[in-house]
Every structure is written in structure tokens, then in C-alpha cells.
Structure 1
Amino acid sequence: MTSVLSRLVLACMLLPCLWMAADAQAVSFPELNSAVPGHQDVTYLDLARMVFPDLAAGANGFYDGTAPIEMRHIAGADDGGSPPATTSLSNAEVLAVKAAGRDRLAMLYDLGYGSDSAEGFAVLALYDLTGKPRLLDAANVAVDRNTSFHEPRKVSIAAGDDAIVTMSTHFNSNQGYAGTMLIMVRNDRFQLIDAIYTFDENYCAYRRTQKLAFRSLGGHKPYAPIKITVTDATVPSEESCNEAPPKATSHDISVTYHWDKAKSRYVKNSDAFEKLSAENEKRF
């Protein structure tokens, strides 16, 4: 279970808080017993029960139940673990998205640790609210302990289509590990575009960060190319440390994804992110 406070603390550690304020309307954290806008007879709890059928009111404003419905991991059958045996939720992250020109609602439920894995378990659910609410798809998108929507939350890949961005993280005293997932919606099903793994360090002598930026290039059908850039920057500190600070450096690592009609998926023009991940592992 991840509380609203812990989610906000996590976001502030990952992003400048100014970004959060600028994008505050894109994602919300409604209480589960509140009504869905435009559907006064439907609550977010009703939507959550499509994923967790036995959710019931518990103590201190939480809703408790057992494991969610069966679902795949977004990265494939060999990834991810089992969900925790019990579920306890007070809210979920909510994000409005477009899919094939239609309005859809994405909800992210972070359940915490899985029952057989050090990774977390986080359900990304897709709903159609145009008539009677329907659950269209659900997938586990966790690749680390804590999972949430991540800046910019969604990327426009066509006039009526958004791709969704999630991030899973964990931290120790000096290091931060992150796995960012870029996920499209196709035929009302989630489809992974790619997973990008980054690594931050914060020591007395320096801070090294790897920040992502997403850009839709437009001008192509049915889906626009997407350029993702990781800025790998080292900033020396002004503290008095036992080691000499490194020089300030910064360089960009970019990969562009194009829609492959024959393969019915995005393909990338480089394995630069795989190389970055391998290099990062040497610093763990």
C-alpha cells in the first residue's frame, strides 16, 4: 500500500516540484468513495471493484480486499511476480487519455510488494465511461517497489491517441533506481512501447542524475515517431569531502521510435538505452 503522502514525497524526489504544479490537473488522486465526474451514480470504488471484486470499507478510510483479477505483466509472460495476497487502498491515480479518438480513463493502483518478489505490483487499468462503465484492460506495470504515473504522464502520438508514462522506483541512502514504461493503447489494450532504466547517485562530492524527456515528432500516420532523451549529468558539490569532486559533465542519449506497420508495434533506431542500463549496473 502506498499512501498519498508517500507518493508526493516520491514525486518531489524525482522531479522539480514546479513541474508537479504545472501538471497538477493531468493526474488526480480521488478518494474511492467519491463520484466519477459525469457519472454521479458511479464511484471510483465501483471502478476499482472491477479489478478487486471484494473490496469493502475497512478502517481509517481504507478499502480492503484480496488479490486483484488475473492479469499479465505489461513486459511479457516472463516478467513480474504475483500480487500481494491482500489489498488495501484509499485512493488511486487517475489520468484521462485518448485512444483511437475515444475518451478513456486510466487508473493506477500501487499495491506495494508482491507476494513472491522484491518488486512491487501495480495495476494499470483502462476504463470506458461513455455508457455503462466497462473495464477494458488491466496489466501489472511494476518493475520496482513504488510505481506511479511519471512526468509528462502522457504523450500525444496521434490526434486522438495518447501514450502513458509510468515509473517504478526505489532508493537507498545514496542511490536511486528507476524503470520508466512508455505504454500505448491499441484496440483498447495496453501495449508496451519500451522500458527505460536509469540510475541516480548522490554523494558528498557530487550528484549524478539521469533525467528523461519525451517528444512526439508528429507528421506521420497512424502514429507519430517518439523521441526519448536521457540527460546524464554530473554536478560537483561545494561540500568539504574526503574525495575530490569530479568535473561537471552533461550529455544526452536519445532514441527515436517509429511505428512499424508490418510488426504492428513501435521499433527503435538504437540500443543506446540497453547500453546505458548495462553501464549503470556496473555502478550499483
Structure 2
Amino acid sequence: MISILCRFMLACLLLPCLWAAALAQDVSFPELSSAVGGRQDVTYLDLAKMVVPDLKAGANGFYVGSAPIDVRDILGGEEGGSPPETVNLPNAAALAVKAGGKDRLAMLFDLGQSQDSAEGFAVLALYDLAGKPKLLDAVNVAVDRLTSFREPAKVSIAAGDDAIVTTSTHFNSNQGYAGTMVIMVRNDRFSLIDAIYTFDENYCAYRRTQNLAFQRLGGQKPYARLKATVTDATVPSGESCDEVSPKASSQDISVTYRWDKAKSRYVRNSDAFEKLSAENAKRF
């Protein structure tokens, strides 16, 4: 009886820690006016103003400001869209991550689109909250109109390191487009592991989906191998439609990434995702 009681008391003591650990895995959407991590001297708005310096509370719960600070594009070069001239930000997404064995906070600010760009502009920012908060790095991760953290938003690649996963999407009546950025943090700087593009269709006769999943593989240091798999599945609707109904099918398309010490970056073992993207483009 005493043993059972002790176990119960121990479980009660550990429950808050386990609950906190579970919450730490989740993306949060804090009010920008709220305090960061229980601190009374720093708000999420203070962090956001490191990206949009004149950001302030506006009408209808939005925060308004002018253009953000200059940031590079995660794809490199001039690939990304242009930032909007004015910002209307309802909220931001926050994610606790590990980088080089240290605690870091990643925040994603989807700032919208400029008038001359088909893509949105979304800033992924990395903060050090030990002592006075510091903005360590910031990049544009938007490759389509709407950008958010993917689910899951991070994948462990070492005991003290997480890869961050974002996705940009847009939809029309029958098609859905997604661009997923897999990003590591090294020396407190964002570095792209890969960009993976998928395409869904939903018609009267069938539905075709391309679902992306990640798996950490062991056996390598300092960073683990990472396997990404797209499951490309077609499911007939069984309805009477004008178009021909395809047969049910499903295939897995996988790429494995390993750390290349000489190149100081992840390299992939095939171009399967590039081929998939090219095949998808023929169906747009």
C-alpha cells in the first residue's frame, strides 16, 4: 500500500514536468502583448519589433507597421518575393527549439504579400532569450502565399539540435500547392536542408494527395541522417463523373539526407523530389 501511495505521489510530482515537456513540442500563437516565458520585462511585441521596428497595436486586434528589416531568402539569391510596404499582423507563431545544445526561440511572422509579388513574405526569426533578448538570425521562408510552421514543426537531428519545418501553401477549387522548407540551425544561423514541393488534387472522380513525413535515422554524428517520404496516393471517389476515374494507387517516394563534413551541410542521396516536382508541374 505504501509503495502504491509513493508511486502515486511521484506521478503527481512529475506530471507538471511531463505536461511542460509535451507543451514544449507545440507551436504556440501568443498575444504579442503577453510576456515571454513568464518574464515580466520582455513581451513578444518586443521580439517582433526586432523584425518590424515600428510595429505597434492597431485596430481590430492587428499590429501595424512598415516594411521589415532586410533579411536574406532561405533559398538564396533573389528567389523570394518582396516584403509588403505596410504590415498588418494579427499574431505570430512561436516554437522552442534546440540549437547547438542551447535553448532558442523561433518565431514565424507571415507579413502578407506585396502588390507586385505572387508570393507572400514570411520572416523566420531566431532569438536568444538568455539575459537581454537577441535576434540571432532572420530569413524569408515564404515560397507561396500563406506560410506557417508545419506539423510537426521540428525534427530532432541531434541530442541538442532540431531542424525546423515550415510550409507555404495556396489553394484553388480543385488543387492544393505546398512548398516545405526543412531548415537547420548551425552557429545560430539558419541553413536550408532542402525544399520539398507537393501537389494535391480533388476532383469528382478521384482525390490525389501527397503527404510528407520525416524520420530521424541513427548512426551518424554530429547530425543524424534524416529521411523524408512523400506518400503519393490516388483514391477513386466511386461517383459518376465526366472524367475517367483512375485506379487506386499509392507509392512512397523517399530521400535520405546525411551530414557531409567536408561540405559542412546536409546532402541528399537522390533527386527524387526534384523529379516529383517536375512531374507535378505538368498537372498544374
TM-score, normalised relative to structure 2 = 0.90
Measure the CA separation in 2 of the matches of 1:27 and 1:206.
Answer: 33
Structure 1 segment 9-20 matched on structure 2, within 5 A: none
In the other structure, the counterpart of 1:101 is 101
Measure the CA separation in 2 of the matches of 1:229 and 1:259.
Answer: 18
Matched residue of 2:59: which SS? coil
- 1:23 offset after TM fit, Å? 8.2
In the other structure, the counterpart of 1:207 is 207
In the other structure, the counterpart of 1:140 is 140
In the other structure, the counterpart of 1:224 is 224
In the other structure, the counterpart of 1:90 is 90
Per-residue CA deviations over 1:86-120 (Å, capped at 9, x if unaligned) read: 01112101100000010000000011113431001
Measure the CA separation in 2 of the matches of 1:33 and 1:90.
Answer: 12
Per-residue CA deviations over 1:246-284 (Å, capped at 9, x if unaligned) read: 111000000000000010100000000000000000000
8 Å contact kept, 2:87–2:112: no
In the other structure, the counterpart of 2:15 is none
Per-residue CA deviations over 1:201-242 (Å, capped at 9, x if unaligned) read: 000000000000101102311100000000000000022212
8 Å contact kept, 1:158–1:218: no
8 Å contact kept, 1:83–1:115: no
**Moved runs in structure 1, 4+ residues, more than 3 A?**
22-25
Larger Rg: 2
In the other structure, the counterpart of 1:59 is 59
Measure the CA separation in 1 of the matches of 2:73 and 2:223.
Answer: 24
8 Å contact kept, 2:82–2:113: no
The one-letter code sitting in structure 1 at the alignment partner of 2:237 is S
- 1:81 offset after TM fit, Å? 2.1
Structure 1 segment 247-258 matched on structure 2, within 5 A: 247-258=247-258
The one-letter code sitting in structure 1 at the alignment partner of 2:110 is D
Matched, 1:70 2:70: yes
8 Å contact kept, 2:227–2:256: yes
8 Å contact kept, 2:182–2:194: yes
In the other structure, the counterpart of 1:271 is 271
Structure 1 segment 92-241 matched on structure 2, within 5 A: 92-241=92-241
Matched residue of 1:151: which SS? strand
What is the Cα-based RMSD across aligned positions, in Å?
1.3
8 Å contact kept, 1:55–1:64: yes
Measure the CA separation in 2 of the matches of 1:24 and 1:87.
Answer: 29
Measure the CA separation in 2 of the matches of 1:116 and 1:161.
Answer: 37
In the other structure, the counterpart of 2:246 is 246
8 Å contact kept, 2:24–2:96: no
8 Å contact kept, 1:120–1:143: yes
Length, aligned pairs only: 263
The one-letter code sitting in structure 2 at the alignment partner of 1:177 is Y
Q: Which runs of 5+ in 2 are unaligned?
A: 1-21
Matched residue of 1:227: which SS? strand
Matched residue of 2:41: which SS? strand
- 1:78 offset after TM fit, Å? 2.3
Matched residue of 2:156: which SS? strand
In the other structure, the counterpart of 1:47 is 47
The one-letter code sitting in structure 1 at the alignment partner of 2:280 is N
Measure the CA separation in 1 of the matches of 2:145 and 2:67.
Answer: 17
- 1:244 offset after TM fit, Å? 3.5
Measure the CA separation in 2 of the matches of 1:26 and 1:241.
Answer: 42
The one-letter code sitting in structure 2 at the alignment partner of 1:32 is L
- 1:60 offset after TM fit, Å? 1.2
8 Å contact kept, 1:101–1:159: yes
The one-letter code sitting in structure 2 at the alignment partner of 1:57 is A
Range moving further from structure 2, 95-104 or 216-225? 216-225
Measure the CA separation in 2 of the matches of 1:174 and 1:266.
Answer: 35
Measure the CA separation in 1 of the matches of 2:277 and 2:88.
Answer: 33
Matched residue of 1:137: which SS? strand
Measure the CA separation in 2 of the matches of 1:192 and 1:57.
Answer: 33
Measure the CA separation in 1 of the matches of 2:70 and 2:30.
Answer: 25
Measure the CA separation in 2 of the matches of 1:262 and 1:116.
Answer: 40
Measure the CA separation in 1 of the matches of 2:243 and 2:56.
Answer: 55
8 Å contact kept, 1:209–1:232: yes
8 Å contact kept, 2:213–2:230: yes
The one-letter code sitting in structure 1 at the alignment partner of 2:240 is S
8 Å contact kept, 1:206–1:246: yes
- 1:139 offset after TM fit, Å? 0.3
